[in-house]
Structure 1
Amino acid sequence: MRTGQDQPAGPHAQRGVGSTAPAAATPLLTSSAALCWGLQFALLNPVLALLLVALYDAGPADVGWVLGVYNASGFVAALGIPSWADRRKDYLRPLLACGALTLALAITTALPVAVVALVVLGGPAGVGVSLLFADMKHAKAAPSEVINTRAIVSFAWVAGPPLATFIMAALGNRAILPVLAVIAFLNMATTAGMIAKRRAAKSMDPDPDPTLHATGQPVSRTAVVLIVSGFVALQATNSAAVSVMSLFVTERLGLPLIWSGVALGISALLEIPALLIIGRLSRRFSSQTILATGCVADMAYYAAMTVLTGPVLLIGVQPLNAWFFGTVAGIGLTLFQDLIPGPGLASGLFTNTRRIGAIVSGVIIAAGPGLGLGYQGVFGICAVAAFAALILIGLSRGTAPKA
C-alpha cells in the first residue's frame, strides 16, 4: 500500500543518512533465508495430508481435524512470538529458535510422538517466514525488495512439491523427514549469518522504535474486519486445495502421485511473474480491485477442478491458481504491514489469516467427502468460499486507502 511518499529504490535509499533503521542483511543472506524457509513449507505442506493417510491410516475426517489442530497450535505462536519480537526489536533470534524447532520436528520418527510434535513444535516453527518479513520491514526494506523476496519463496514451491513427491515415491514416505532436517539446519545457518552482520553494524546503526514503521493511513475498524475476513476465506480455499491435491490426483483422477507435484510446481512457477505484475498494478489500482481479480480467478479455478478428468486440464487451469495466490501473497503482506503498527504483529496477523483459514479448511476437507461428493466436492465448496470473499472485499472498497 502506498502512502503518497514514493521513495527511490535501492538498498540504501530507504534509510538515508542519520537513519535509525538497523542495517539490513545482505541480499544473498536474505534471499538464501527466503529460499530455505520457502522450501521447508513447499516440501511438507503439499504432502502432509498424504503422510497422515499413509502413516496414520487417517480418513478424510481425521485429516481435517488433525490439520485443524495443527494450525490452531500455530495461531497463538503467530501472534505471540512476533509481538514479543516487536517489544524487543529483535526478529532474528526468534527466527533462529524457529529453525531449531523445525529441526526437532523433522527428526521425530515415532508415529504417536510425531503427531504430538506436529502440534507442539510445528506451530511455533511455522512463524519463521513472518519473522523474516518483519525483520525486513524493521530494516526499512523497500517494497520492491519485499516483493522480490516473496517471489523467492514462491520459487521454492516450484522445486519443493515435485521434489517431495519424488523422494517419497522413490524412497518411501519417511524419507522426507531427513530432508526436512537438512533444510532446518540451513535455516539456522542463514539466520546465524544475519545475526552476525546485524551485531557488527549495531553500534553504527541502532534499532528504531518499531512504531515508526506504521506508515499506512488510518482506516476504519470495519474495513480491517472485512479485509481480514476476506483473507481468511481465501486462505481457507488455498489450504484445503493444497492439502487434498495429492489425494485428489491419485484417488479421483487415478493419476500417478507425481502429477500432484507437477501441478503445484507449475502454479508456483507462474506465481513469480504474477507477483511482479501485481507489483506494477498496485501503483495504478487499489488493493481491493486487484484482490477482486484474484477472487474471480479463484472461483474459476475451483469450478474447473470439480469437472476436469485428466492431466491436461489439471495443468491448464494452474495459471488461474497462480494469479489468485499471487494477489493474496503480493497484496496481503504489504497491506497488513501498512495498516498495523509493529512489523512483527502485522506479519503475524497476516500469517494468522492463513492459520485461521487452515482451521476452516479442515471443515471443508471433511465436508466434501462427508457429503458424498468425494474430493472434488472440496473444490466445489472452495468456489463458494471464494465468492464470499469477493463480497467481503467489495464491501470494504471505499473504506480503506489505495495500495
Structure 2
Amino acid sequence: MLWVMTMARRLNGVYAAFMIVAFMMGIAGALQAPTLSLFLSREVGEEPFRVGLFYTVNAIAGILISLLLAKRSDRQGDRRRLIMFCCLMAVGNAMLFAFNRHYLTLITCGVLLASLANTAMPQLFALAREYADNSAREVVMFSSVMRAQLSLAWVIGPPLAFMLALNYGFTTMFIIAAGIFLISLMLIALMLPSVARVEQPAAVAITQVSGWQRKSVRMLFIASTLMWTCNTMYIIDMPLWISHDLGLPDKLAGILMGTAAGLEIPAMIIAGYYVKRFGKRKMMIVATAAGVLFYGGLIFFHSQQALLLLQVFNAIFIGIVAGIGMLWFQDLMPGRAGSATTLFTNSISTGVILAGVLQGALAQGYGHAVVYWATGAISLVTLAITSRVKEE
C-alpha cells in the first residue's frame, strides 16, 4: 500500500485513483479466489468433481454476462456507472458466501452475482485505456503499472485469506471482502472520471472493429485460453494437493500465491518497459516458455523450497501474459476497448471452464499428481500456438 501511495503523490489525482481502485478491488478478489476450492471442499463438503464443476459453471455464466455488458458499455451509457453496479453485486456475492453453505444456492445465485461482479475489473481496465488515450498518456506503461496493483494485491491477499479462513473462519473472511468492495464502490463514485465514447470512422472495416474475424485474434484467444487453463488448474488443485498428497502446511498455498504475485510486479514493469523494443509477440513467447518451465517443474520438484523457487517462472509467465496479452487484444480491436478487454478476460473464463472440468475429473479419477502432467502438456501446446500468432 505504501508503494501505491508513493505513486499517488507523484502522479495526478485521476491516475492515482485508478491505481488505488485497482488495488482495492484486487485485494477483495484475492481474499476470495485462492480459498474457494478449500471453502467448497471443507465448508460445503463437496467432492473434487463438484468443486471443479462450480468453477466451470461460474466461468460459463461469466462469459455470457460479461459479453452482454461489454457490448452495451462500448455503445452507450456511462462505463463508470457500470463498474459501480458490478461492485455492488460483488458486495452481495461476498455476503452470500459468508452466510450460505448450500451448494445449489451458491452455484445458482452465487454464480449470477459473481458473474456480474467479475465484469468490474475488465471494465475498469477499459475505462483506464480510454482515459489514457484521451489524456495522451503512455498506454502500455499506464496499463502495466495498473496491472501491477493487482499483483501487489495478490501479494497481500492470499496469505491474508488463508490466515483469516483458517484462524477466524470463512464467514469473517467473506465479510471483510464485502467491506473492501464497498469501499471500492465509494472510491469509484468519488474519484474516477467518465470518459466520452470515441466513434469509429465509417472507413474502418467492420471486421477490424469486431476483431473476431481476424485469424490473429482467434489464435491469440486460443493461446490465451490455454495459458489460463494451466493457471486455473494450478490454483484450484494446489491448495488441496499440498495438504492431501504432499503433507505440507495449508498456509503454504497462500505463501506460494503471494510470492508469485510479488514477483509478478517487477516482471510486469520490465515487460511494459521493453515491449516497444522487442514487441508483444516475443514477450509473450518468453512468458509461455517460462510457463513450460514452471508446470514442468511442478511434476518433479515437491519440496517447500523448490515450490517457492518455481514461483519465479510462474511470475514471469503470469506477469507478462496478464499485461501484454490484454494490450495485444486491444491493439487488434481499435475503438472497442471494452470488447477487446472482455475478450481477453473471457479467454481467462474459458480457461477456467476447461480447468474446472479437467482438474475435477483428473483429481477424482487419477489423483492430484496427474493434474500437473496435464498442465505441463497444455503449456507446451500453448507455446507452439503463441509462436504462430503474428504481431500486427
TM-score by length of 1: 0.86
Aligned counterpart for 2:229 among listed residues 214, 223, 236? 236
Q: Which amino acid aligns with 1:142?
A: E
Partner of 1:272: 265
Taking every aligned residue pair, what percent have the same amino acid on both sides?
Answer: 26
Q: CA RMSD in A?
A: 2.2
Residue 99 of structure 1 corresponds to which residue in structure 2? 87
Cα-to-partner distance string for 1:78-123 (whole Å, 9 max, x where unaligned): 2111221111252110000011001111111122233323211111
Following superposition, the deviation at residue 356 of structure 1 comes to: 0.4
How far apart, in 1, do the equivalents of 2:13 and 2:359 lie? 40
Look up the match of 1:147.
144
Alignment of 1:2-401 (within 5 A): 26-88=14-76, 90-108=78-96, 109-112=99-102, 113-139=105-131, 140=133, 141-143=137-139, 144-194=141-191, 198=194, 207-211=196-200, 221-340=214-333, 341-372=335-366, 374-396=367-389, 399-401=390-392
For 2:65, the aligned partner's letter is A
**Structure 1 unaligned regions, length at least 5:** 1-10, 12-23, 199-205
Normalized per residue, the structure richer in helix is 2
Per the alignment, do residues 188 and 106 of structure 1 end up closer, same or farther by CA in structure 2, a change over 3 Å counting? same
> Any conservation in 2 of the 1:78–1:349 contact (CA below 8 Å)?
no
CA spacing shift, 1:80–1:25, aligned 2, 3 Å: farther
CA distance in 2 between counterparts of 1:131 and 1:172 reads 32
Query: How far apart, in 2, do the equivalents of 1:39 and 1:211 lie?
Result: 36
Comparing 169-178 with 152-161, greater Cα deviation is found at: 169-178
Quote how far apart the aligned CAs of 1:342 are.
1.2
Query: Alpha-carbon deviation of 1:210?
Result: 4.8
Whole-Å separation in 1 of the counterparts to 2:329 and 2:187: 26
Given the superposition, is the C-alpha separation of residues 284 and 89 from structure 1 closer, same or farther in structure 2, using an over 3 Å criterion?
Answer: farther
Comparing 167-176 with 67-76, which one deviates more in the overlay? 167-176
* Offset of residue 238 of structure 1: 0.7
Residue matched to 2:4:
none
Q: Contact 2:32–2:174 (CA<8 Å) still a contact in 1?
A: no
Distance 1:127 1:240 in 2: 22
Task: Provide the rounded CA distance (Å) in 1 between the counterparts of 2:372 and 2:176.
Answer: 30
- Partner secondary structure for residue 46 of structure 1: coil
The 8 Å contact of residues 57 and 107 in structure 2, kept in 1 or not, is answered as: no
**Residues 132-162 of structure 1 deviation map (CA, whole Å, 9 limit, x = unaligned):** 1111112225321111111111100000000
CA distance in 2, matches of 1:53, 1:111: 11
Following superposition, the deviation at residue 371 of structure 1 comes to: 4.2
Q: Output one character per residue of 1:309-344: Cα deviation in whole Å (capped at 9) or x when no partner.
A: 321111011000000001211211111111113111
How far apart are the structure 2 equivalents of 1:294 and 1:301?
11
Q: Any idea what the Cα deviations from partners look like across 1:227-262, whole Å, max 9, x if unmatched?
A: 110000001111111122211221122111111000
Which one-letter code corresponds to 2:87 in the other structure?
G
Q: How many residues align?
A: 366
Aligned-pair distance for 1:295? 1.3
Per the TM alignment, residue 25 of structure 1 is displaced from its structure 2 partner at its CA by: 6.3
